[in-house]
């Protein structure tokens, strides 16, 4: 447990007490051991570095004004809500907050435009775990290996969302009544919001110049289910976005404030800024923001057209062409399909380019219904 200065600040994570930490039995509420290493690093508690509106208005020059714009639905939402079931365009799904997982989408189905029958897409989708390991050998940070979903609960730490900072004014809100790990009732007002928004890209467009000339484009609208949870110093936005083309996009983003630790230096070397502080970026004299990761896992139980399906990897393979080939190329690429029959490390990289699919084969019509799984991976520190 790291000690923080909490008096007269809205940002205690930026004011750790250097070199003082403790091992605490949270069940027995007992302090088992105290580590006091006073002397190895100068004791320097930085001034309050608050981000609330009042402090920023007092200490910073105001930003240039942005011209106002409006986003509204004067005729009301296009979706219907019956209990926890949502219907929108061709989509129908079940939506609820969960104490551990947070935002949970279940039984999502898409209506066939020809038969008008709802066809299964997925059984359940929700955050499974988020592992946050801090990369420092120092005693103050070595214990910072958090499992934000499993240890704390994305649902019970969900927060009431504001308008328009978290959700647009035309959103529909859902309250959450949950049970904590201690068996206590947790009520979160406006824990989930549901809203439509115009997409930043067209659903489809094309300009034809060689055949019969035409220019045509179609706008796209999305339906977003959102939940925001605050775990310590981080606030996480979890968005599940339904699109009119039958696709679902899942995104998680983080904001909030940094948690820092003490160091023995007051400035960085401009020629090698990580020479003295290889485990983080200097934020103020004697303090660094420690490098760390946010490794997020989602449970995505896809059931396209039911449960009889297979998990397939399509790997791009380079094929060397004969030296005397007619086109003069050295190589081309082709696709190699592999049906995965056992648990695997489902990773695609820039070196091994691949795609993942869940296939349902309809033998009677010799047609394959495919759900493509596309993962976007990013690393920022």
Can you read off the two tokens belonging to residue 373? Answer: 């799984």
Cβ 345 vs Cβ 326: under 8 Å:
no
- Among 134, 234, 236, 279, which one carries the catalytic annotation? 234
User: Is residue 235 annotated as part of the catalytic site, yes or no?
Assistant: no
3-state SS of the chain is CEEECCCCCCCHHHCEEEEEEEEEECCCCEEEEEEECCCCCCCCCCCCCCCCHHHHHHHCCCCCCCCCCCCCCCCCCCCEEECCEEEECCEEEEEEEECCCEEEEEEEEEECCCCCCEEEEEEEEEEEEEEEEECCCCHHHHCCEEEHHHHHCCCCCECCCCCCCCCCCCCEEEEEEEECCCCCEEEEEEEEEEEEEECCCCCEEEEECCCCCEEEEECCEEEEEEEEEEECCEEEEEEEEEECCCCEEEEEEEEECCCEEECCCCCCECCECCCCCCCEEEEECCEEEECECCEEEEEEEECCCCCCCEEEEEEEEEEECCCCCCCCCCEEEEEEEEEECCCCCCCCCCCCCEEEEEEEEEHHHCEEEEEEECCCCCCCC
d(CA 111, CA 93): 11
User: Is residue 324 annotated as part of the catalytic site, yes or no?
Assistant: no
Q: What are phi and psi of 56, to 5 degrees?
A: -65, -40
Contacts of 16 (CB under 8 A, 6+ apart): 2, 3, 4, 5, 45, 140, 259, 260, 261, 262, 287
Can you read off the two tokens belonging to residue 111? Answer: 């209506």
- Among 140, 148, 279, 303, which one carries the catalytic annotation? 148
In terms of phi and psi (left: phi > 0; alpha: psi -120 to 50; beta: otherwise), the region of 27 is: alpha
Active site residues: 148, 234
């Amino acid at each position: 447990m790291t000690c923080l200065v909490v008096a007269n600040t809205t940002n205690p994570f930026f004011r750790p007490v250097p070199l003082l930490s403790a091992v605490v039995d949270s069940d027995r509420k007992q302090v088992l051991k105290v580590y006091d290493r006073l002397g190895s690093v100068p004791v320097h508690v930085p001034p309050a570095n608050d981000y609330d509106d009042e402090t920023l208005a007092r200490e910073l020059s105001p930003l240039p004004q942005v011209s106002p714009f409006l986003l509204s639905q004067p005729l009301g939402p296009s979706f219907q809500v019956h209990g926890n079931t949502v219907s929108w365009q061709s989509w129908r799904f079940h939506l609820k907050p969960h104490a551990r997982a947070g935002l949970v989408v279940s039984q999502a189905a898409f209506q066939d435009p020809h038969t008008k029958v709802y066809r299964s897409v997925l059984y359940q989708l929700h955050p499974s775990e988020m592992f946050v390991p801090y990369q420092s050998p120092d005693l103050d940070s070595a214990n910072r290996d958090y499992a934000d979903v499993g240890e704390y609960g994305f649902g019970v730490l969900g927060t009431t969302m504001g308008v328009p900072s978290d959700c647009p004014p035309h959103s529909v809100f859902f309250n959450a009544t949950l049970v904590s790990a201690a068996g206590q009732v947790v009520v979160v007002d406006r824990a989930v919001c549901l809203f439509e928004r115009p997409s930043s890209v067209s659903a489809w467009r094309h300009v034809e110049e060689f055949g019969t000339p035409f220019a045509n484009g179609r706008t796209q609208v999305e339906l977003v289910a959102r939940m925001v949870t605050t775990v310590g110093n981080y606030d996480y936005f979890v968005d599940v976005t339904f699109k009119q083309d039958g696709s679902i996009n899942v995104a998680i983003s983080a904001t909030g404030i940094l948690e820092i630790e003490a160091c023995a230096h007051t400035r960085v070397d401009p020629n090698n800024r990580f020479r003295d502080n290889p485990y983080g970026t200097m934020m103020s004299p004697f303090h660094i923001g420690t490098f760390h990761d946010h490794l997020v896992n989602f449970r995505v139980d896809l059931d396209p057209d039911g449960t009889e399906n297979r998990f397939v990897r399509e790997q791009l393979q380079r094929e060397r062409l004969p030296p005397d080939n007619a086109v003069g190329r050295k190589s081309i690429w082709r696709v190699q399909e592999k049906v995965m029959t056992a648990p695997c490390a489902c990773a695609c990289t820039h070196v091994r380019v691949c795609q993942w699919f869940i296939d349902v084969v309809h033998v009677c019509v010799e047609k394959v219904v495919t759900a493509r799984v596309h993962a976007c991976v990013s690393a920022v520190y």
